[in-house]
Chains A and B, each alone.
Chain A
Amino acid sequence: MRYDVVIIGGGLSALVCGTRLQRSGKSVLLVSSGQNAMHFSSGSFGFLGRLPDGSAPDDLIDSVINLPEVHPYRKIGPERLRTYAGQTIGFFESAGILLHGDPTHNSYRMTASGICKPAWLAMEDVSLFAPGETPSGGKALVVTLKGFTDFNVPFISSAFTKMGYACRCVEVEMEEIARLRKNPTEMRSVNIARVLEGQQALDRFISGVRGKLKDEDTVVLPQVFGLKDTSPLAAIRSRLPAHVHFVGTMIPSVPGIRSQMCLKSAFQAAGGTFLPGDTAVRAGFDSTGRVSSVYTANLGNTPLEAGEFILASGGLWGKGLEASYDSVKEPLFSLDVDSPRERKEWYDSDFFRRQAFTGFGVVTDESLRALKGGKTVSNLRVIGAECGGANPLEEGSGAGIAIMSAFMAADSILGRI
């Protein structure tokens, strides 16, 4: 089975890259084992949350020079990064995902436990706050659903209090939601979102909040609306006589899941082929060391052939790398991995300190082509969390790297670089 490009992975980087290629006339196949990091994301994208010395970056693109030379951002280079950062909002809009934020500067988002973290761009139900937002003096009603524990109301209201709001916390009680409690593990953001997808349930919720509103000018809600599309968000915004902030819940992430589904639909609408629930298990190389084919668990002996291959398998977390006691390997192509030889250098025994293993990835050349035994594999590019030289968790750069490297790999295959 032949395509122009075969991509291994189905996360943010794979879908962005695949859609860009397919829209430019390439035939693209994407094979994806399971779901991916978007399902657990905050609903906001990080580009560069902090610099290696711990300080906060100002202009994001100018700050990249402070990163080590092996970092994918350094390989993409500031000029291209600026162009790509400028294209990001438009690209996502074309897939039906509205992002907001400043493409070259960080704002802040609030986590489920009321902590403010740097964020680059965010989905429409993730409120962003300007750095050091000045006390507004407003009044906020912090609302949760009775029985929902993945949204920490005391912490969130204290965070809003610090921002200068006078907060009042209330619970909305709904019979449909209470029913979820029958199974204690099902009281999660996505289950609630599914219930509130129903028009009647949503109406009841909105009137519930209206009934509790006194003189507040701001309402703070958990991100449990709009699993399939954003229409519940619009309904809430238009029918509550107050400014509405949506704040993160514990995982899974409703905006993340919705956006992943939008991206997948955009890829398929462009004509791309998506193989869900299948795993690339082995690869074939030709005599010059180029990848010639990939075999998957489901397709068995039918090879997937292509001129270009892209590895977007998500690093250790996505199973794009495999760790054993004494080594870290890239299982599909046996590519070079940038993990230190000594196991004790992989991690810090203090869990909350910088962990080296969260940054392990495949070693690539200047144009993100993979290295195998020190030699470049000329038709295999590595993107997203699988790409070495960075530590997305530490840097707060996960989505930025995924999107920037995806654009760059697509452009280089299209001969634009």
Chain B
Amino acid sequence: MIHNEHIRSSNFEECIKCTICTEFCPVIEVNPLFPGPKQAGPDGERFRLKNSFFFDENLKYCMNCKRCETACPSGVKIADIIHSARMDYGTVTPHLRERILAGTDMMGTLARPFAPVVNAVAGSKAGKFMMDKVLRIDRRRSFPKYAAHGFNRWFRKEKAALQDRFASQVAFFHGCSTEFQHPEVGKAFVEVMNAIGVGVRLMDEKCCGVAMISNAMWPEARKNAVHNLAEFRKTGLPIVTASSTCTLTLRDEYPNILGLRNDDLRDNIVIVEKFLYDMVDEGKVKLVFRQDYKAKAAYHIPCHMEKLGWSIFTRRLLEMIPGLDLTVLESGCCGIAGTYGFKKENYSYAQAIGQPLFDAIRAEDPGFVVSECETCKWQIEMSTGYKVLNPIVLLSEALDLEKTRMANEK
């Protein structure tokens, strides 16, 4: 079964019991109910394999931030072990709330036609009260707003027909938040790609499934994953993303948690910052920046960007912008972890986890924060009041798109 296959690849027996993972886990620092990565992961695994009686439902407090894995000296895939265990032994079935929070694409489709109404209700006191009481979605949480018109519709109307003229093409996995809440991310992506002479294709994508994985909706997550992998194989183009969490899910969670092989595609799935950096580094593309662009930004590295090990690409890329005064914030979790921080029982933990980051941002007092993750954006904007931009949006503003286009014309 998936689980057995997983054990062989995750090597819980390689744990040397050093407890370094515990030192880096943001949850155990604030939540005494969570057993911590070592106990929940490799230590607990030994017992669970003997008898499922040892499975502890408190494993659900793991945010899957993967900071433990990045720190483990033995390369134990701790968070994968935890979530595979939840999949194999968990008995709690997802309720309406989990389905609402995790059904990012379905809920978006339902909500969009009524965007102004939904936004108003979700933002109103009464709406928040109802969600808090009925659904146990914390009332102190602000909801990301649904955009009235989706990214797909804009693309089809404005851009699709223009893409054929480019010799090289990429497939853009835009993710749910670009479609429903932040179409500006997708628009910036298309503008920048087109400016460097690369055409953009959209696929029939489904939500990457990350929220389903964390909300124990395993069959739904697998279904989406199977569908997406088939789409990727069909296009044969590089799959370029704009969200760090989608990227990690498509590359690593599909094989490691859902047990779906993607070896043939893995190297082909990249976030746009790596894609752009590599093109510039290899001399294939030139970026021309605006002379009059001036800004002060603080870069928050999302947990999943840290796990991918790719924040260096964003950093090097942003450092190319002459008018940008960039500070890289001390790497730490913002606390939201996707849908985790929306739940009433997690709200105060999420805010406590994020506190050092919020303090660091306030101390820095930048013009805005940069981050590749949309849920980090919601969390930081709600908790600090500072605006958060996806790096591709910042790039599209800092680039002289016209001059870039000319510089890259063959």
Contacts and interface: CB of A to CB of B under 8 A. Distances in A.
A300 B72 contact: no
Interface string B280-307: 0100000000000000000000000011
B23 interface: yes
Interface string B47-76: 000000000000000000000011111110
B277 interface: yes
Given A33-B73, A183-B35, A277-B309, A188 B19 contact: yes
Contacts of B306: 276-277
Given A183-B39, A300-B267, A191 B19 contact: yes
A1 B316 contact: yes
B184 interface: no
Interface string A35-48: 11001100000000
Q: Which of B35, B72, B274, B312 has the most CB of A within 10 A?
A: B312
A185 B309 contact: no
B307 A277 contact: yes
A194 B32 CA distance: 12
A298 interface: yes
Contacts of B73: 33-36, 39
Contacts of A301: 267, 278
Nearest to A10: B73
Contacts of B70: 276-277
A188 B39 CA distance: 12
Interface in B1-59: 17-20, 22-23, 29, 32, 35-36, 38-39, 43
A194 B29 contact: yes
B248 to A, nearest CB: 11
B267 A296 contact: no
Interface in A243-291: 251-252, 257, 273, 275-278
Contacts of A185: 17, 19, 38-39, 43
Contacts of A115: none
A302 B277 contact: yes
A227 B309 CA distance: 25
A34 B38 contact: no
A190 B22 contact: yes
A36 B73 CA distance: 7
B183 to A, nearest CB: 30
A214 interface: no
A298 B266 CA distance: 11
Given A186-B38, A302-B277, A302-B278, A278 B309 contact: yes
Interface in B308-335: 308-310, 312-313, 316
B237 to A, nearest CB: 17
Contacts of B18: 35, 39-40, 251-252
Nearest to A265: B330
Contacts of A300: 267
**Interface of chain A: mostly helix, strand, loop or mixed:** loop
Contacts of A341: none
A299 interface: yes
Nearest to B76: A34
A264 to B, nearest CB: 11
A179 interface: yes
A228 to B, nearest CB: 10
Nearest to A176: B32
Contact of A277 (B29, B36, B69): B69
Contact of A34 (B35, B71, B278): B71
A34 B72 contact: yes
A299 B22 contact: no
Contacts of B32: 179
A298 B308 contact: yes
Contacts of B310: 298-299
Contacts of A298: 308-310
Given A183-B35, A277-B71, A301-B278, A39 B312 contact: no
B309 A186 contact: no
Identify the interface centre among B19, B36, B75: most chain A CB within 10 Å of its CB: B19
Contact of B309 (A183, A251, A257, A299): A299
Among B23, B277, B281, B306, find the residue whose CB has the most chain A CB atoms closer than 10 A. Answer: B23
Nearest to B32: A179
A275 B315 CA distance: 12
Contacts of B22: 186, 188, 190-191
Contact of B281 (A34, A277, A302): A302
Residue with the highest number of chain A CB atoms closer than 10 Å, among B22, B36, B277:
B22
A186 B37 CA distance: 10
A58 to B, nearest CB: 36
A298 B22 CA distance: 23
B36 A183 contact: yes
Interface string B361-392: 00000000000000000000000000000000
A190 B312 CA distance: 30
A183 B278 CA distance: 46
Contacts of A188: 19, 22
Contacts of A191: 19, 22
Nearest to B310: A298
A400 to B, nearest CB: 22
A321 B306 CA distance: 26
A36 B308 CA distance: 20
Contacts of A35: 18, 20, 71-73
A246 B132 CA distance: 50
A190 B17 CA distance: 12
Q: Which of A257, A273, A300 has the most CB of B within 10 A?
A: A300
Given A34-B72, A39-B73, A277-B70, A186 B39 contact: yes
Contacts of B274: 302
A33 B38 CA distance: 19
Q: Report the 4 A-B pairs with minimum CB-CB distance, sorted nearest first.
A: A298-B309, A34-B73, A277-B70, A35-B73
Interface of B: 17-20, 22-23, 29, 32, 35-36, 38-39, 43, 69-75, 267, 274, 277-278, 281, 306-310, 312-313, 316
5 contacts: A1-B312, A34-B71, A183-B43, A252-B20, A277-B71
Interface of A: 1, 33-36, 39-40, 179, 182-183, 185-186, 188, 190-191, 194, 227, 251-252, 257, 273, 275-278, 296-302
Given A40-B18, A185-B43, A277-B307, 18 more contacts: A33-B73, A34-B71, A35-B18, A35-B20, A183-B35, A183-B39, A186-B39, A188-B19, A190-B22, A190-B23, A191-B19, A251-B18, A252-B20, A252-B23, A275-B309, A278-B309, A299-B309, A302-B278
